[in-house]
Structure 1
Amino acid sequence: MRAFNGERLKEARYYNSLSISDLADKLGVSKQMVSKYENGKSTPGAEILFEVIQTLKFPSEFYFQMDEFDEGTSGTFYRSRLTSTQKQKAPSESIKKALVIYRDYLEEHVEFPILVKPHFENIEQLIEEKNFDEIAGKLREFWNIGDDPIPNIMYLLEEHGFVIGLLPTDMEKVDAFSSHEQINGNDYYVILSKKVKTSFFRQQFSLAHELGHWIMHSDLIDPQHLDTVEYREKESDANDFASSFLLPKRSFLKDLAQGPINLSLLASLKGKWHVAIGALLMRAYKLDAITEEQYVKMQKQISYYGWRKVEPLDDITEKAIPLSLRQATELLVDNNVVTAAQIPEQIQKKYNRAYPISMLEEVASLAPGYLSYKDGEVVRLK
């Protein structure tokens, strides 16, 4: 008889954002018993296993498998609130693993862009000197995008080989995160951002922030080894890089010179630069285009107008959805390389992970039910 894998139970529990006590209540057992299940000291009986499957929505096979692949990580940078707990972060780690596995599976059939980092002889010195304009400028030059606005940074990142995903709706205290991942010797840099309760313009900045971690920190720092003060500093550096990358100094100052610099001007520039008014204001202040008095005054005006939560254009601008994995999947299915229903089966066979179909559809930004379609079925579109 196959052994029950307690680590898989813990992973499924984390994915569902449940504590041990939460799961114990749903299963009708003590939290000590759930802990024993997860630590391999006890095996749930048939009735409890049925309740586990019904509660956590993972297939029964998931709990009786061992990973059949090598993996590694350089550590994860979370752009999250300081109050985020391990319970709140853990579901995102499950999403990240499924996302990387899905991308690795597609690599067998699809040629994706290769992620290449520009060479810096003095990157550590530039970081020490807080010269984020030069770092951002070199990356823009390397990607041949000049000083122009970036209409959609998510698509720009996918075009250059990043693996992008969205966090489910219940992970409210994690804004975004990124890390360097390895699966069976294949390297990926993964970025996940919020799916809801954020605007397209805030999404732009969050992704640029994670891009900053990639270019400045991913080869030099393991975030798990940073203390709180050091971590805050790296987060601040990533924010400053994001500002420099999204709002190149020369071009942005030229636009500010239209003056006078007020919220009306910044609101008009938001539509051009695709960056939130709050971020535009901060960049103007850090470039010394406005005084501290002007900065404080406009911050108060932002609060007065209620723009902390919703700014102009937020409600009428749709957030970006990752395209890379979805398009690669559709390419395979449309060209009869595999059927949609075979993809979860082949992932299970290769990686020994029987993921819920809905979870795979979510990480690949596929329509619900896409991976369940069998040959001969009619797919009904909205």
Structure 2
Amino acid sequence: MFGQRLRLARKRAGFSLRALAERMDPKVTAQAISKYEAGRMMPSSAVLAGLGEALDVSLDFLMSDRIDVLDGLVFRKDSGTSARDRARAEAVLIDNLERYLTIEEVLGIPPAGDRFGDCRCDCIATEAEIDERADRLREAWDLGMDPVPSLCALLEEKGIKVVEADLPERISGLACRAMRQGRVVADAVVVSTRTTVERKRFTLAHELAHKIIRSTGNPGITLERAMDRFAGAFLVPGRDLLEKVGARRRRVTYYEIARLKHAYGVSAAAMLVRLGQVGVLSASAVRRAFATFARGWLTTEPEPMCDEQGFAAFERPQRFRRLVWRAVGEELISPVRGAALLGESLEVVEWQVSGPPVTHLIKE
């Protein structure tokens, strides 16, 4: 386990074996580091501390055994994503998940069971099947046809660990199952703090799709395209959209698209694509829109959602912080440990525990 963590930390830092050896104090050879990674040798405590410092990771990260492997790891990424970016994202995920599992252990919370059994399928062959799967999941979760107020809250309620983290620029999200001793200890979805709320919601729905649909039986539908289709159908149910805008339209105005994107909490581009998918607009009308007035929508979001308003006010993970504060409040962990888990200063945590000093509350 230590060897796997060391290799991941080295890739995250972008170091070769030789480059890491050159940065080490005390000095060790590249061959020795290779043996550490292969599990053929363990470093001394002094070398272990040096590895943590050279790689800018904690000893807890290098030595923890809470997670053996990330199974089914899938990235939502640009084509130019490097191996270093993927390693960095994986390390961020492991660090966050291990802190999450730590606080659940403190509170005696058992792992969540499988919430997707009846809705999961091994293979889909048509786009209509994808929409049907999205509708079936909404029905199973009693969501009706209304817009989902918070994807983060919904997924956390269903037992998925949702993490918002500073991911590399070319990666907007990832999903996986964290394994320990051959069993699943956490289903996880990670989204980047760099993305807009519109893209964050779509990314969460896309990563949810990976937990429902495992493959496509149609060479004309790639798995990532299927995930995007599911995300659109889950966020914007076809029947509800048809009731709002009508079954067949020659065109849909900018005004209507702007109102619809704010109603469902998706990007204008995703809304335009969805209008084509459900048959409101023809495929040629959608292509024409992206070639003209919607040309820049993939890079610049029109009518963006404002921070702390509408969907943006609720679309952030809450459960981990709630659990940490519960443990601090019940004195199951110290404020020092709480600060470490939250990644905040002890001063801030102590202020939140006791409130502002009394002198601040006395009027002169």
> TM (normalized to structure 2)?
0.78
Distance 1:283 1:328, change over 3 A: same
Quote the Cα distance in structure 2 between the aligned partners of 1:51 and 1:187.
31
Output one character per residue of 1:174-212: Cα deviation in whole Å (capped at 9) or x when no partner.
Answer: 22111122235453211111111x210011111101111
Quote the Cα distance in structure 1 between the aligned partners of 2:279 and 2:138.
23
Output one character per residue of 1:297-321: Cα deviation in whole Å (capped at 9) or x when no partner.
Answer: 21123555x4332323436235532
Quote the Cα distance in structure 2 between the aligned partners of 1:70 and 1:303.
44
What residue is the counterpart of 1:324 in the other structure?
Answer: 319
Equivalent residue in structure 2 for 1:267, among 258, 266, 283 = 258
Structure 2 counterparts to residues 284-299 of structure 1, below 5 A: 284-299=275-290
Quote the Cα distance in structure 1 between the aligned partners of 2:14 and 2:329.
36
Structure 2 counterparts to residues 141-290 of structure 1, below 5 A: 141-169=139-167, 171-183=168-180, 185-196=183-194, 198-217=195-214, 233-257=222-246, 261-290=252-281
What residue is the counterpart of 2:33 in the other structure?
Answer: 37
Structure 2 counterparts to residues 103-114 of structure 1, below 5 A: 103-108=100-105, 109=107, 111=109, 114=113
Q: Alignment identity in percent? A: 21
Deviation of residue 58 (structure 1)? 3.0
For residue 328 of structure 2, what is the amino acid of its counterpart?
V
Output one character per residue of 1:314-362: Cα deviation in whole Å (capped at 9) or x when no partner.
Answer: 3623553211111111111012122132469xxxxxxxxxxxx4xxx4x
Distance 1:43 1:162, change over 3 A: closer
Output one character per residue of 1:265-311: Cα deviation in whole Å (capped at 9) or x when no partner.
Answer: 1111111010111001111112221123321221123555x433232
Aligned residues: 342
SS in 2 for 1:215: coil
Structure 2 counterparts to residues 63-102 of structure 1, below 5 A: 65=63, 67-69=64-66, 71-102=68-99
Quote the Cα distance in structure 2 between the aligned partners of 1:62 and 1:69.
10
Larger mean Cα displacement after TM superposition, 201-210 or 259-268? 259-268
- Structure 2 segments unaligned to the other structure (5+ residues): 358-364
> Of the two structures, which has the highest relative contact order with CA contacts closer than 8 Å and spacing of 6 or more?
1
2:301 aligned with 1:311: yes
What residue is the counterpart of 1:57 in the other structure?
Answer: 56
SS in 1 for 2:287: helix
Quote the Cα distance in structure 2 between the aligned partners of 1:61 and 1:162.
24
For residue 325 of structure 2, what is the amino acid of its counterpart?
E
- Structure 1 segments unaligned to the other structure (5+ residues): 345-356
What residue is the counterpart of 1:353 in the other structure?
Answer: none
Larger mean Cα displacement after TM superposition, 151-160 or 138-147? 151-160
Distance 1:200 1:21, change over 3 A: farther
Contact 1:343/1:371 (<8 A) preserved:
no
Deviation of residue 61 (structure 1)? 7.1
Quote the Cα distance in structure 2 between the aligned partners of 1:177 and 1:110.
27
Contact 2:121/2:213 (<8 A) preserved:
yes
Equivalent residue in structure 2 for 1:139, among 137, 140, 144 = 137
Larger mean Cα displacement after TM superposition, 15-24 or 208-217? 15-24
For residue 324 of structure 1, what is the amino acid of its counterpart?
R
Quote the Cα distance in structure 2 between the aligned partners of 1:231 and 1:101.
39
Quote the Cα distance in structure 2 between the aligned partners of 1:55 and 1:102.
22
Deviation of residue 160 (structure 1)? 1.1
Deviation of residue 34 (structure 1)? 4.1
What residue is the counterpart of 2:362 in the other structure?
Answer: none
RMSD (Å) for aligned C-alpha atoms:
3.9
Deviation of residue 114 (structure 1)? 4.7
Structure 2 counterparts to residues 362-377 of structure 1, below 5 A: 366=342, 368-370=344-346
Quote the Cα distance in structure 1 between the aligned partners of 2:271 and 2:223.
21
SS in 1 for 2:298: coil
For residue 263 of structure 1, what is the amino acid of its counterpart?
Y
Quote the Cα distance in structure 2 between the aligned partners of 1:231 and 1:81.
21
Contact 2:198/2:267 (<8 A) preserved:
yes
Output one character per residue of 1:48-103: Cα deviation in whole Å (capped at 9) or x when no partner.
Answer: 8776544433346766x4x5457344321111123323221011222222233223
Quote the Cα distance in structure 1 between the aligned partners of 2:176 and 2:206.
12
Deviation of residue 242 (structure 1)? 0.7
> TM (normalized to structure 1)?
0.75
Output one character per residue of 1:203-241: Cα deviation in whole Å (capped at 9) or x when no partner.
Answer: 111110111110112xxx6xxxx9xx9798111111111
Contact 1:19/1:87 (<8 A) preserved:
no
Deviation of residue 367 (structure 1)? 5.4
SS in 1 for 2:334: coil
